[in-house]
Amino acid sequence: MNQDNRPVVAITMGDASGIGPEIITKALARADVQAMCRPLVIGDAARLREADAITRTGLAVHAVATPAEARYAPGTVECIDLGLIPAGHPFGQLSATSGEAAYRYIERATRLVEAGEADAICTAPLSKEALHMAGHKYPGHTELLAHLTGTPEVSMMLVAPKLRVIHVTTHVGLIDAIRRIEPGLVERVIARGHATLVKSGMADPRIGVCAINPHAGENGLFGQGEEEEKIIPAIKACQAKGWRVEGPLPADTLFFRAARGDFDLVVAMYHDQGHGPVKVMGLEAGVNITVGLPVIRTSVDHGTAFDIAGKGIADEGSLVEALKQAVDLAPRRERAAA
């Protein structure tokens, strides 16, 4: 038997009412994607066939019950078919049906990786509102995956051209975020980011840590001493380990310096502090990585785009980048190809 060393990447279909099915068919029609991994969609075969007709990619959809049945033939999409989306289900509309299905896709993909039947997860976008309509009260993929894997704490890392950002807090309001930030949390987030870069082959990553206040508080002129209380002790603890960690630095200058190559990773204190610069650098090429899980998970860095869903015009670039990151991070295993 021939050896096929390409990792198996479980691609969850996301919200079936959004652009997920379309960007999946567009991405999997690309020869470079097929060459770098064995893509296994966790979703609905009938919905993928609808998306293929919309995008005119000309792919055959092969519905399977288990990964062992997948053939990974050229021009074919392999799909673990959960059969949760009814015929004629509308695109572009919030739906509890789509929310429930999105949850089930993630759940199945997680179990496949845990069982060693897939090597990484790459997620198409879901709708938080639809997820909540279906009774799954999670702020997003990151928290849902943490729950499914029994992981007490994870971090969101965004990767764009010339920029990597890891977040201390994510899906909470700004006032709540500032309350939650404390030295132990900041130190753990820096450590997760450091470990991820070291595993990727970067021996001594340069890490810049954002301040909370403008001008990093400017010696007490702005704020209530948050930098001294919440951030500096964590930075000193990391520096004591011999890591190249600098800060707290004003976010506006830190992101400029990181984009020109001074830092390998920026530690953002709250959601918009990190997301804004990444999306300016290139929304269509951004990738979301959940750091700290026992499974590899990457994602597109955009939403469901209900306004253009079903029109065949969604750009697959972010999904392709997310698949590349999943391949880079996935454990290498020798697998026999049938």
pLDDT band at 329 (very low <50, low <70, confident <90, very high): confident
Q: If you write DSSP's letter for every residue of 255-321 in order, what string do you get?
A: HHHHHTTS-SEEEESSHHHHHHHHHHHHGGG-EEEEES-SS-EEEESS---TTTTTSS----HHHHH
pLDDT for residue 19: 97
Which of 54-68, 169-183, 189-203, 245-259 comes out lowest in average pLDDT?
A: 189-203
Q: Please name which of 119, 98, 100 lies closest in space to residue 109, comparing C-alpha atoms.
A: 119
CA atoms within 13 A on the CB side of 220: 0
Question: Which segments of 80-206 does DSSP mark as H helices, in order?
Answer: 96-114, 128-133, 141-149, 174-180, 183-199
Position 160 pLDDT exceeds 90: no
CB 87 within 8 A of CB 100: no
Which of the following CATH numbers is that of domain 1-151+293-338: 3.40.50.300, 3.30.470.20, 3.40.718.10, 3.30.750.80?
3.40.718.10
What does the mean pLDDT of the chain come to? 92
Range 58-71 average pLDDT:
95
pLDDT band at 117 (very low <50, low <70, confident <90, very high): very high
pLDDT band at 333 (very low <50, low <70, confident <90, very high): low
- Residues carrying CATH 3.40.718.10, the chain: 1-151+293-338, 153-290
C-alpha 38/C-alpha 5 separation (Å) is 9
C-alpha 149/C-alpha 6 separation (Å) is 24
Q: What is the pLDDT of residues 260-301, one digit of tens each?
A: 999 999 999 999 999 999 888 765 667 888 899 988 899 988
CATH number listed for the domain at residues 153-290: 3.40.718.10
Whether omega before 248 lies within 30 degrees of 0, making that bond cis, reads: yes
Position 193 pLDDT exceeds 60: yes
CB 12 within 8 A of CB 105: yes
Range 113-128 average pLDDT:
95
